[in-house]
Amino acid sequence: MRVTNQMVTSGSLRNMQKSMQRVDQLNNQVTTGKKIAAPSEDPVIAIRALKLRTTVDQLDQFKNKNIKDAMSWLDTTQTSIQNVYDRLQDVYYYCEQGAQDTFQTKDRNTIVQELQELKDAIYREGSTTYAGRYLFSGYKTETNLIFQDEAAKKGLAYEISEDISPEKFETKSVVINEVDDSKLEDIANGTEEFTKPESTTVHTIRLAYDNLDDNKISVFVKNPGDENGQGYNPTIRKIEDRENYYKVQPGEINYIPETGELVFGDTIYNEVRGAETISVKYNKSEFEVGDLRPEMYFNCKQTKTLDDGTTKETEFTMSEEGQQIKYEVNFSQYITVNAQGKDFILHDMGNKIDDLTRSVQAVLDIEDTITKLKGMLESPTYKNDSTKVTRINKMLESADVELAQKRENMQKLFGNNMTNFQNFMEDVSAVQAKVGTTYSKLELIETRVTEQLANFKELKSSNEDVETEEAAINMYQSELVYESALATTSSVIKKTLLDYI
């Protein structure tokens, strides 16, 4: 085969170009620290790089954003739940004292306010937020668990459907025909007839709210094995009819909107106490700041009256499985970060506190009445009139009996609520333990994700990055090859046929 100068020249230039390309490639590796600059240089490395980079980015998202955010959410939740537990414990301590009737009159004047403040403190925990989101409102993270101000409850009315377990029945002693402070002078003067107070036992169920509308209520009882159930229409006892609150016929139910109580006659009580469920539908349009929102706890219909007088109705339905907010904290691994307020901030807590407050206030009121009656006996208006004095003494004697009864009722109520608030604290502790377990699990996941992130970063580096020392040596060698090629090629190309003539 004949080799021409042209062939030698072309081959030399082609080989020099390859050496130059090799030098350029190695120079890029040294300066960039990467094995390739374009996917075409090595498609296998390029494809693996895309997969590994995506995985590293996802793991970084899990570790530094999702897990951190979830931990902060759970931290705030744990603190708030602990606050609820502490306030319940404070109420429990009051119950211990009250069960022993160690409260003096001056103590009773203080405890009413303190109990109410504890109730408000428990409910205020429902307003806890994290990053502008309400923690305990389920999916409605933009909505407070309570009515936080006047604007929040403005124009709102609800038709509430509440299912109550027959276990919520309470049998309690009450005083009827109480000595009425507003009628003392009329009775003393003989213009009003005096009825002696008496004690009776009633069976009651307390609804979630008090100060309810007095226009409509229905009770539906479903017994085991009875698909149809039985409906009842309670008798509404308004504030002005308070003397008859607890006077209920055997086959009737009294509804007291002021206290949110249903008082069952003996016959109906015996019929329904073994029921499967007792469903009550009632209306409430007047709320106080700090009240729990009905839509967070019950199936209900909200009617909102707008500024222009028009109304807007919204139906709310409670989900049986709850409203779990989940964070993805690893590949296909989710963790629930929220606790719902309905699981540990309960209407029953506030209602029990209200019952305690009312029992204390009832004792204070009858003590004031006794003080007033004793003052009347010393008054010139009455002390010289034996008939009036007799009437006053009769009232005073009855008031003393009423005071003893109410003190006994108060003491029993405080004693019974020791168990109730122990149960509340256990329920709160269960939620707290669940949150704590979730946090511990999250810490383990964080450790695992951290290890995965380190491993994949190492794989990514191994796939993409060059060893700097090795790349520098290879580049030096390539430069020597290239310079040798230049020298050799220049020697070959400059010699022509004329050099040999």
Q: What confidence tens digit (pLDDT) does each residue in 260-285 have? A: 999 999 999 998 988 888 999 999 99
**Which pLDDT does position 81 carry in this prediction?**
96
The interaxial angle of helices 67-99 and 105-124, nearest 10 deg, is 160
For 53-83, the DSSP string reads HHHHHHHHHIIIIIHHHHHHHHHHHHHHHHH
Q: Is the pLDDT of residue 7 over 80?
A: no
Q: Which residue has the higher pLDDT, 130 or 491?
A: 130
Query: Sign of the C-alpha dihedral, residues 374, 376, 378, 382?
Result: negative
**Which pLDDT does position 419 carry in this prediction?**
94
Query: Which contiguous run of DSSP H or E holds residue 389?
Result: helix 386-464
**Residue 408 is which amino acid?**
E
Average pLDDT over residues 184-194: 89
Per-residue confidence band for 24, with pLDDT thresholds at 50, 70 and 90: low
Report how far Cα 471 is from the mean position of its chain's Cα atoms: 59
Q: What is the pLDDT of residues 389-426, one digit of tens each?
A: 999 999 999 999 999 999 888 999 999 999 999 999 99
Residues 6+ apart with CB under 8 A from 188: 376, 382, 388, 391, 392, 395
Percent of the chain with pLDDT over 90: 57
Q: Is the pLDDT of residue 499 over 60?
A: no
Average pLDDT over residues 78-101: 92
- Give burial (CB, 10 Å; 0-12/13-18/19+) of 293: buried
**Residue 217 is which amino acid?**
I
- Give burial (CB, 10 Å; 0-12/13-18/19+) of 150: exposed
Mean pLDDT of the chain: 87
Residue 366 contacts residue 406 (beta carbons within 8 Å): yes
Distances (CA, A) of 219 to 146, 207, 224, 229, 347: 26, 12, 17, 10, 19
Residue 394 contacts residue 375 (beta carbons within 8 Å): no
Q: What is the pLDDT of residues 331-355, one digit of tens each?
A: 999 999 999 999 999 999 999 999 9
Average pLDDT over residues 244-253: 90
Residue 339 contacts residue 136 (beta carbons within 8 Å): yes
Residue 260 contacts residue 160 (beta carbons within 8 Å): no
Per-residue confidence band for 481, with pLDDT thresholds at 50, 70 and 90: low
Residues 6+ apart with CB under 8 A from 313: 301, 302, 303, 304
**Which pLDDT does position 309 carry in this prediction?**
85
Q: Which residue has the higher pLDDT, 497 or 297?
A: 297
Q: Is the pLDDT of residue 495 over 70?
A: no
Q: Is the pLDDT of residue 15 over 80?
A: no
Cα separation, 402 vs 239, whole angstroms? 21
Strand segments, DSSP code E, in 127-276 are 129-130, 133-134, 156-164, 170-176, 198-206, 217-222, 230-232, 235-236, 253-256, 261-264
Helix residue spans in 100-223 (DSSP H):
105-124, 150-153, 184-189
Q: Which residue has the higher pLDDT, 104 or 80?
A: 80
Which of these, 208, 161, 165, 163, lies nearest to 350 by C-alpha position?
208
SS3 487: helix
- Provide the token pair at 230: 């039985």
Residues 6+ apart with CB under 8 A from 499: none
Which of these, 401, 372, 376, lies nearest to 177 by C-alpha position?
401
Cα separation, 34 vs 41, whole angstroms? 12
Cα separation, 14 vs 187, whole angstroms? 127
SS3 417: helix
- Provide the token pair at 236: 């509404």
Q: Which residue has the higher pLDDT, 241 or 113?
A: 113
Name the β-bridge partners of 460.
Answer: none
Cα separation, 296 vs 143, whole angstroms? 10
